[in-house]
Amino acid sequence: MKLYYSPGACSLSPHIVACEAGIDLELVKVDLGEHRTESGADFTEINPKGYVPVLQLEGGELLTEGPAVVQFLAEQKPERELAPEYGTLAHYRLLEWLNYISTEVHKAFVPLFWNGADEEKARARKIVGRRFDFIEAQFGHDYLLGDGFSVADAYLYTVFSWLEKQNIPTDRWPKLEAFRKRMEARPGVQRALREEGLQ
Ligand SMILES: N[C@@H](CCC(=O)N[C@@H](CS)C(=O)NCC(=O)O)C(=O)O
């Protein structure tokens, strides 16, 4: 399988999941400013949505949307237990977190990524802060769903790492800072970071 990614972007989440699952991916770097792959191909012809992540399956089909991609990858290696079993309450907790991270945290960062007005950016920083306050308050174990790693942790780790890039101090969230260190001690996370040139 092939993963279209941009270093440190939300595509890092499925990349981490693949490494944790022991799935070897062919990686294709995308320049998101130019919407071109490293070989110069027009990325919008590959994904008309124009964004990463895109997972290309062995048969050539394309799967997009991070939360769907991470669950698909987890299901390729059920023995790794990267996602709770379908139909259990834990499964719906996973969906609850993936949806929260996607729609409330990830998207709250968007004004910070583009050249928006200062006022808009200040508002985004406040909203992002409140979203992480909620996660910090809920965080009672080593990982989001409990004591074991799940695909939601890969996504949380990715969006948490964006704070530093935006010069937003993270000491307000000590449990999440400890979580980041716990994640960075995992060989799967280290491999993904190395492969994206982030280490
Ligand atoms: N809904 C999509 C959002 C993906 C997304 O926002 N990707 C960003 C990187 S984190 C991107 O590629 N942006 C480039 C663009 O929109 O042109 C998902 O969850 O996968």
Domains by residue range for the chain, with CATH: 2-80+188-195 (3.40.30.10), 89-186 (1.20.1050.10)
Nearest CA to ligand 1 atom 20: 65
Nearest CA to ligand 1 atom 14: 51
Asked if 110 and 124 count as a contact pair (C-beta separation under 8 A), the reply is yes
Q: Per residue in 10-55, pLDDT tens?
A: 999 999 999 999 999 999 999 999 999 999 999 999 999 999 999 9
Determine the atom of ligand 1 nearest the C-alpha atom of 30. 12
- With a Cβ cut-off of 6 Å, ligand 1 is lined by 9-10, 32, 50-53, 65-66, 102
| HEC string for the chain | CEEEECCCCCCHHHHHHHHHHCCCCEEEEEECCCCEECCCCEHHHHCCCCCCCEEECCCCCEEECHHHHHHHHHHHCHHHCCCCCCCCHHHHHHHHHHHHHHHHHHHHHHHHHCCCCHHHHHHHHHHHHHHHHHHHHHCCCCECCECCCCHHHHHHHHHHHHHHHCCCCCCCCHHHHHHHHHHHCCHHHHHHHHHCCCC
- Give 171 Cα–ligand 1 centroid separation in angstroms: 27
Q: Per residue in 87-130, pLDDT tens?
A: 999 999 999 999 999 999 999 999 999 888 999 999 999 999 99
- Give 52 Cα–ligand 1 centroid separation in angstroms: 5
pTM: 0.98
Nearest CA to ligand 1 atom 3: 65
